[in-house]
Each structure stands twice: as structure tokens, then as C-alpha cells.
Amino acid sequence: MNASGSSAAPKGTSLPLAVLSETFIRKAKDKTLHVGIVGLGYVGLPLAEAFVRRDLRVTGFDIDMAKVDMLDAGQSYIKHISDERIGSMNASGKFGSTTDFARLKEVDAILICVPTPLGAHREPDLSYVVATTKNIAKYIGPGQLVILESTTYPGTSEEVLQPILESGGLKAGVDFAIAYSPEREDPGNPNFETSTIPKVVGASSTPERDMACALYGVIVPTVPVSNLRTAEAVKLTENIFRAVNIALVNELKVVYGAMDIDVWEVIEAAKTKPFGYMAFYPGPGLGGHCIPIDPFYLTWKARAYGLNTRFIELAGEINSNMPGHVVDRLGEAMNEQLGMAMKGAKVLIVGLAYKKNVDDMRESPALELIDKLRMRGMDVEYYDPYIPVAPSIREHPEVEGMRSVEWTEEALGKFDVALIATDHDNVDYMPLLKAVDLVVDTRNAIKDRAEKVVRA
């Protein structure tokens, strides 16, 4: 171990990675590895907690000093991760966070958990990954393991990360290790957490793969695959599967609606079949950091091979059209049941988060709904128990500063129509049903068939 506390050998070592990997694996078994996690968001912070719970030392790195200050104070900035959990991490003596990337020299493993959004033309935006990797390249030493967890297209680790990391003279697979292990977080899901979800691990050589499996094996079962590209493809496949099936039920919702058939009743009956069917549910569109974005990473990469991903693109088109369908349905229902036009009417969006029981607004269809409803001349407000004040959203600056209304009959009574975009479990819809004459429900949140409830 060097003076900084890392097992990484000094630069210039002649020890082959096969030997260095043995030291790394032994430290994993002894739980003396020092793990560095870059990006302390919805992926990185739960991952840090999982390692700390298994008595590994973790240093978290983030460019946002406000996050570091909150963590140091035992405070959480993610709704489903409590202050108590952050306090427990700090009390363990195994966790610390910093904005000083020079401290990457201290760790044995560097896990990259930064955003991979889409650009304006649905092309991959790897700017966060590239910037992070350039920082790592300044400090990487022999024997260290670098793992990308961010979702991306097959070939990213070899074509983007590896050349940057090798720019200082060390070679991947010879002096240091590279692996890919896609994050599998599902924020707000009470049935699964980081420490209970198996980790897929891919690498270009056996020593590198063994190192990554030894690291993750401390907290979860691992699923090794043959190479980096395969592991990158696994994550895309998981999210493409969801995107395509959600598009299917969204299309069925529209078709069955025209036939006066309740798609929710159809799904509930269909899922009683014990084989050959898996229930997916329609909604007002796709949201979150994965499903609306990840499939198009493969679409973009496929073009380099002269191929088109028609199925994926069709699914994206269907899902992207859902907010417009919901707004049209709301207008029809207002005309039919209230005899009102949309222009000048007051509408309440119920739920601003992209999914229930979280405070995450990334790619939320509610944002598209607000934009489209305002374009129709409606006065829009929202209620969300997890988001008292809407934060800054780059693509939707118009929502910043909006405040959640009070959930009382008196406050709700000023609205002509309510649109349920997110079905948080802790919302009692009775005050809404008493106060508002029309409720458009995109999530089947209100199970009774009250006349004032219209599904969309």
C-alpha cells in the first residue's frame, strides 16, 4: 500500500496487471478496498451506501459543492434516501465526499456514475463522461480499476474512455483495469435496492473482469459477461424492452379507448395468465433518466453500421405522442362533460415527478403536459407532495419556481379540471373528487368508475 492509502503501485511499476489484480482481489475479500464513486446522484449515492454497509471505505466525488456540504452535515438531497441513512454512513467512519478530484489517487477502484443524456437531435451526449474521464486520467495509477456505470452505447468504454485514460502513458489491461457494469437503480421501488440487484460485469480480459467481480461481489451477486460491449448492450436491452412494451400498451390504450374498452381492465385480466404474459401499463408518456433516452443510444450507434432500429424508433414515436393524446382527450372531456373550452380554464396537474413515490422530475411527461396545456390557453398549476417547489429544468425553464398547491377541498375547488399525471401512493383522491367536476386519470389512480373520472 502506498502512502496515500491505495493498493495501486507507483507510476512506472513493471508489475503486470495479472499480479496487481491478485492484490486487488485479496483486498476485496479482506474488505480493505478503498472505493471512489464519481457522481453522487440517484445512482452513485445508493451505491456508496451499499459498499459502506459492507464495511468498505468509500470516497464520493462530485462537482457540486452543495451536495458535498449536505452530505457532510448528514443531510440527503434525494427524497427516498433519508437523512438518517446519510447519518449512518457518516457515523460508520467509512464514508466521505469531496470535490477534490486529486484524491482519486487514494482509491483502488473508480466508479463513474454521471448522466448520459441526449442532445438536441437525439444523439448521445457523453460530455459528462468525457469530462469525468479526463479528470481521472490526471491521477490514475497502476493497479487501479475504472468502471463506467452510466448507460451508453456499445463501444463507449473502448472507443471513448480507454484512449483518454491511456493519454498519460499507462495502458488498459496492462497497467490498470477497465470494466463496465450498468447501473440498475429503480428509485422509490421498495422491493429492490442496490444491494439486492445482481450486477452485470464486462471487461476485455480475465484479470480485469475478476477485479470488477471481486469488487461488486462484496455487495451483490455478479453476472460476468465476455466483454465490455456485451455489458453495455445488456443495459440498453433492458431499457429497450421496457420502452417497446410501454409503447405497445399505450397504443392499445388508444385503440381500445376508441372501442369503449377499458385497457386497465384488460391488463388486469390478462396478467392472471401464469405464463407468456408480463403486465405493462400505459401512461401520459415516458419519464426518468433511462427509458426515454437509452434506446436512442443504440439507434445512433446502429447508424454507424448502416442499420436502422425501426422498432425502437416506432416505440419512441408512440410514447412521445402520448402527452398530445392526453391533452386532446382532456379537451374532449371538458367539452362533453362540462361544456367548456380549454382556453381560460384552470387545470391542476396532479403529480410532477416522472414516477410515483419519488421527487425526480427528469424527462417527466408532466412537463410536456404543462407546456401543451398552456399552449391551449389553460391556466396550469400542480400538486406533488414530493416537490413543493419546482426546480430548474433546462428544457422547461417555464416551470421553475412553480409551487405545489394545498391539498384541501377549498384550494382544489378553484380548478375546472384535474389531470392525474403521477399516481403517488400517499395521495388521498377523495378531496379532489369532491372539489373538482372533472378528473382526467392517466394512471388508473382512481379505481372507481365515477362519472366525473375520465381515463386518458
Q: What is the pLDDT of residues 388-445, one digit of tens each?
A: 999 888 788 889 999 999 999 999 999 999 999 999 999 999 999 999 999 999 999 9
- 435 CB neighbour count, 10 Å cutoff: 19
Answer yes or no: are the C-beta atoms of 126 and 114 closer than 8 Å: no
pLDDT digits (tens, 9 = 90+) for 202-228: 999 999 999 999 999 999 999 999 999
- Per-residue pLDDT at 12: 46
Residue 195's pLDDT is 82
Cell of 280: 405493462
pLDDT in tens, 124-140: 999 999 999 999 999 99
Residue 15 confidence (pLDDT): 72
What's the pLDDT score for residue 5? Answer: 46
Beta strand extents in 204-302 (DSSP E only): 222-225
**Residue 4 confidence (pLDDT):** 40
* CA–CA gap between residue 143 and residue 52 (Å, rounded): 22
Task: Tell me what the mean pLDDT of segment 299-328 comes to.
Answer: 94
Among residues 290, 318, 417, 453, the one annotated as catalytic is 290
Domains and their CATH numbers in the chain: 17-226 (3.40.50.720), 244-455 (3.40.50.720)
Q: ∠ at Cα 261 (351, 284), nearest 5°? A: 25
Arithmetic mean of pLDDT over the chain? 92
pLDDT bin (cut points 50, 70, 90) of residue 449 is: low
How high is the pLDDT of residue 115? 92
Sign for the CA dihedral angle at 81, 84, 85, 86 comes to positive
Query: Looking at residue 14, what is its pLDDT?
Result: 53
Span 169-187, average pLDDT: 93
The whole-number average pLDDT for the span 257-285 is: 96
Whether 311 shows a pLDDT value over 50: the answer reads: yes
Q: Give residue 191's pLDDT.
A: 80
Task: Report which residue type is found at 346.
Answer: K
Catalytic site residue 290?
A: yes
The pLDDT value recorded for residue 292 is 75
Query: How many CB atoms are closer than 10 A to CB 397?
Result: 9
A 10 A CB-CB count for 271 gives 12
Distance, CA of 113 to CA of 116 (rounded, Å): 9
Integer CA distances (angstroms), 122 to 90, 213, 449, in order:
40, 33, 40
Q: What is the pTM of this model?
A: 0.88
Supply the pLDDT for residue 154.
97
pLDDT in tens, 38-95: 999 999 999 999 999 999 999 999 999 999 999 999 999 998 899 999 999 999 999 9
Grid cell locating 265? 381492465
The more confidently predicted of residues 179 and 395 is: 179
